Structure 1
Amino acid sequence: MTTTASALTITPPGRPLRGHVAPPGSKSITNRALLLAALARGTSRLTGALKSDDTRYMAEALRQMGVTVEEPDATSFTVTSEGRLRAPATPLFLGNAGTATRFLTAAAALADGPVVITGDAHMQKRPIAPLVAALASLGIAVEAPTGCPPVTVRGQGGFPGQAVTIDAGLSSQYVSAVLMLAAGGRHPVRISLAGDAIGARGYIDLTLAAMRAFGATVEQPDAATWIVQPTGYRAADFHIEPDASAATYLWAAEVLTGGAIDIGTPAQAFTQPDAKAHALIAAFPHLPAEIDGSQMQDAVPTLAAMAAFNATPVRFTGIANLRVKECDRVAAMATELARLAPGLAVEDGDDLVVTPQPREHFRPAHITTYADHRIAMSMALAGLLVPGVTILDPGCVAKTYPEYWRDLAALGVTLREVAAA
């Protein structure tokens, strides 16, 4: 199934979806492993990896910085590095890849000259000021005049700072970026949170696990403090688990249609935060009246689409950070769900409230995706039950799940390419 069509119309299967689909490798872990392998002297072999727009941007940026990144097969990277990064001849263009942008902004301090990190129009609206402030406090010369990319970092092969306090209220990626950088410092680095607010803390656990796999030494004296020793990294062979965020769409498709989809990995085997959504998905059509999405942010659009067919209304809380993702996902989900039935979803402050409607109130709709892969994939779930759901710009799923449409088709979902209205 191609993703070059301007739009795809989904035909409800009218039967349980059954079959085996293996979701792609974790984007979050793949981009962490690529960077850590690039900072390690020697050759690292990464298996089970995701090949998508986001990870290709990371891989290409590392190549620009003197790292050899080979792709021996569809799910592997072989990374060979001298353990240092060179200043690239041109700016690093990272599209709308948030992980790559935040992680490389920090890692650029270890380069041997100036590095400019930029992205597309969407990325240039995504905040990075808290990370820039944290890096500056470590003695790194960095500037982002708009508070968003582009960012200029004047790398000096290291940095002198020994302590930093980070405001992680908008994103845990700021913390992960500094943690991975810290092992390349000249001294032990103490990293502390400013306050208790932090987006999706579980992703920091992913970062720490990957760092330790590549030889880092990290202590955590309390829930808001980490001490990273200046060990650098060593090359390693590293296997990447499937993407839990991608798995949520398959878990939801199974439950919405009463089917049986084998994704090859039990929910309890995932270490990513979004796997927590499995228990909620399994509760459908009796989702709880309130769902705190703060620690499984990328699963919220999936759950919101399911909530449209729940037995009772659902309020999603703790999701203010979704407003600064690839798009404003709170507004996007409210707007696009309401296209299917008036009053189906509304914004209430930073909450999203989904109020199920009688099935006869649903109507065909063209769904705007805002160049956001998660809006496309989650709203496609509604098309499993509602006739006439058309997804505009379906190719945006290439950001993290290039084979999404093919996988749905393999399960028996009919997808028809159409010209956008």
Structure 2
Amino acid sequence: MTTTSPTIEILCSPLPLCGKVAVPGSKSITNRALLVAALTTGTSSLSGALVSDDTRYMMKALTQLGVRINFSSDTNIELDGTGSLKQPSDSLYLGNAGTAIRFLTAACALVEGKVVLNGDEHMQKRPIHPLIDSLNTAGIHVTVPSSGCPPCTVYGQGFIPGGTINISGTLSSQFISSLMLVAPLSKRATTIKLAEDNIGALGYIEITRAVMEAFGAHIYQDDENSFHIARTGYTPCHFRVEPDASAATYFWAAEKLTGGKIDLGYTPNDFSQPDAAAHRLMQSFPSLPTLIDGAQIQDAIPTLAVLAAFGSSTVRFTGIANLRVKECDRIAAVHKGLNCIKPGLATIEGDDLIVVGDPALPKHAHPCTIDTMSDHRIAMSFALAGLKCRGIKISEPDCVGKTFPGYWTELSKLGVLFSYT
């Protein structure tokens, strides 16, 4: 690919990679906790929070909505909530932060007046219509263009009606989480019914539940597809954000690729996030399972796919259709990147990705520039290929700032050298 944007080339690395790195706080947990803390009446504090592009967008939007936010250190945040949100003087710009725009679209029903939520050109291609349909059915007036993608316009009445709300989580479990997060502030108890028996990323709904309960919400289920949420409001508290399991997967994979030992300061069992399950799969490298269901570990799939390219198995990744509507079409991006390194390394069948492992890949690899499509996870996962193969360049390396601003620094602590062009 011909490009004029900056690139970073992984020049060389000591083998094995050994040392200690700092994994940032979880983006998924941080953005949930920021919103819930903002909806309390009183002062809450978050420790270990992630400060990155995505969370900055969330914090800026909350500030526009009348929430006071202060930093007591780089990762410690205090929020003063009033249990309500004020109409902003301008639209809320959320870049390509999917959690922020989805969670805030429901939350802006608490505003008295019109609120427009928008993002960059990538966000404007990410479907949000299932959430919009559910909000309208629940009595919250929200509109989007005919594309079904942002910008979203919320005509808030200052309250959440509550009652029974049906929602589809096929495209994203974040639509379900969005409704759950605001339900404790509704005018009456809320029941959220899932349209499907099985959805991807169910573990992230459990993360939503855990954050809500930490701030005093009451949630119970009488079956797997219904969440009953009491009208409790939220109580201020001190909340600790755990490190990001998705970020940890890059270093777990780097250990396997280089035969190293990297200390993250946490064990896989210390994580509640679903992507931590990728660690168990990686332990069988180079003979990875021939079938990997990625439904519950979606953010770890690019990492596992790059690892699989160096293995001895042909691996089929299933349950990953939702990767097509992430920051980019990650199925297409991983397929393209692997085949740039070596033609025929990956194929796509429907929504399945098949990676043909080649233990001799470092000898067969072509020098190439990986098109990250501005996606942080594509950049970070394909950097791993550069640990083994010469001539791997990563386009738009700064896109890692979305969730892991210090990624290149942490790799350099392990002795990895880079060249910027």
SS of alignment partner, residue 390 of structure 1: strand
- Aligned residue identity for 2:310: F
Distance 2:60 2:312 in 1: 47
How far did 1:14 drift? Answer: 4.5
After TM superposition, the structure 1 stretch with the greater mean CA deviation from structure 2, 190-199 or 282-291, is 190-199
Query: Which digits, 9 at most, give the CA deviation of each residue in 1:141-167, with x for residues without a partner?
Result: 111123111001111121324001101
The separation in 2 between residues aligned to 1:179 and 1:294, in whole angstroms, is 21
Verify the 8 A CA contact 1:335 1:346 in the aligned structure 2.
Answer: no
- Please provide the CA RMSD for this pair: 1.0
* Pairing 1:366–2:369 present: yes
Partner of 2:214: 213
Q: State the alpha-carbon separation in 1 of the partners of residues 241 and 96 from structure 2.
A: 22
| 2:73 is the counterpart of 1:73 | yes
CA distance in 2, matches of 1:239, 1:412: 31
Conservation of the 8 A alpha-carbon contact between 2:302 and 2:378: yes
Partner of 2:108: 108
* 1:308 partner amino acid: A
Amino acid at match of 2:285: F
Q: Deviations over 1:242-300 (max 9, x none)?
A: 00000000111111100000000110110001001010112111100010001000000
User: Counterpart of 1:337 in structure 2: which amino acid?
Assistant: L
Q: Deviations over 1:212-262 (max 9, x none)?
A: 111111111111110011111111100000000000001111111000000
Which whole-Å CA distance do the structure 2 matches of 1:398 and 1:321 have between them?
A: 22
- Partner amino acid, structure 2, of 1:167: S
Shift of 1:416: 1.1
Question: Which letter maps to 2:170?
Answer: G
Check the 8 A contact 2:21/2:262 in 1, yes or no.
yes
Q: TM-score, normalized by length of structure 2?
A: 0.97
Which residue of the partner structure matches residue 352 of structure 1? 353
| SS of aligned partner of 1:241 | coil
Q: Percent identity?
A: 54
CA–CA distance in structure 2, aligned partners of residues 159 and 106 of structure 1: 9
C-alpha distance in 2, partners of 1:182/1:110? 11
Stretch moving more, 93-102 or 358-367: 358-367
Q: Whole-Å Cα distance in 1 between the matches of residues 314 and 11 of structure 2?
A: 26
Post-superposition offset of 1:197: 3.5
- Asked if structure 1 preserves the Cα contact closer than 8 Å seen for 2:162 and 2:183, the reply is no
Q: Following the alignment from structure 1 to structure 2, what is the Cα–Cα distance between the partners of residues 37 and 105?
A: 17
**Contact between 2:169 and 2:199, CA under 8 Å: does it hold in 1?**
yes
Partner of 2:384: 381
Q: Which residue of 1 aligns with 2:173?
A: 172
Q: Matched residues in 2 for 1:71 and 1:346: separation?
A: 46
Select the residue among 403, 410, 418 that pairs with 1:415: 418
1:21-420 to structure 2, matched below 5 A, reads: 21-145=21-145, 146-357=147-358, 358-359=360-361, 360-418=363-421
Q: Give the drift of 1:31.
A: 0.1
Give me the whole-angstrom Cα distance separating, in 2, the residues matched to 1:73 and 1:92: 26
Question: 1:57 aligns to what SS in structure 2?
Answer: helix
Rounded Cα–Cα distance in structure 2 between residues aligned with 1:69 and 1:195: 38
2: CA distance, partners of 1:201 / 1:159: 24
In 2: Cα distance, 1:392 partner to 1:366 partner: 7
1:258 is matched by which residue type in structure 2?
G
**Contact map agreement 2:209 2:219 (CA 8 A) in 1:** yes
Matched residue of 2:191: which SS?
A: strand
What is the DSSP-based 3-state SS (H/G/I as helix, E as strand, rest coil) of the residue aligned with 1:219?
strand
Inter-partner Cα distance in structure 1 for 2:348 and 2:14: 31
Write the distance in 1 (CA, Å) between the matches of 2:162 and 2:32. Answer: 23
Task: Work out the CA distance in 2 between the residues paired with 1:376 and 1:141.
Answer: 38
Q: Is the 8 A contact 2:200 2:319 kept in 1?
A: no
Residue 361 (structure 1) shift: 1.9
Pair 1:16-2:13 in alignment: no
Give the total of aligned pairs: 414
Q: Tell me, in whole angstroms, the C-alpha distance in 2 between the residues paired with 1:342 and 1:276.
A: 30
- Partners of 1:147 and 1:188 in 2: CA distance: 29
Do 2:14 and 2:416's aligned partners in 1 also have CA atoms closer than 8 Å? no
- Distance, in Å, in 2 between the alignment partners of 1:156 and 1:211 is 23
Name the CA distance, whole Å, in 2 between partners of 1:112 and 1:39.
Answer: 15
Give deviations 1:56-101, integer Å, cap 9, x for gaps.
0000000000000112211111101111100111110000000001
CA offsets, 1:361-401, max 9 Å, x none?
A: 21111111100000000000100000110011100000000
AA aligned opposite 1:380: A
- Range that drifts further, 192-201 or 338-347: 192-201
8 Å Cα contact 2:372/2:379 also seen in 1: yes
Q: Is the 2:160–2:182 Cα contact (8 Å) retained in structure 1?
A: no
Aligned mates of 2:10, 2:39 — CA distance in 1: 44
Shift in CA distance, 98/216, structure 1 to aligned 2, threshold 3 Å: same
For the 8 Å contact 2:18–2:262, the answer to whether it is kept is yes
Q: Which moved more, 1:236-245 or 1:69-78?
A: 69-78
Which sections of structure 1, spanning at least 5 residues, go unmatched? none
Q: Report the more deviating stretch, 310-319 or 192-201.
A: 192-201
Give the deviation of 1:38 after TM superposition: 0.4
- Contact 1:137–1:161 at 8 Å: present in 2 too? no
Once residues 278 and 240 of structure 1 are traced to their aligned partners in structure 2, the CA distance between those partners, rounded to angstroms, is 20
Range with bigger deviation, 381-390 or 349-358: 349-358
Q: TM-score, normalised by structure 1?
A: 0.97
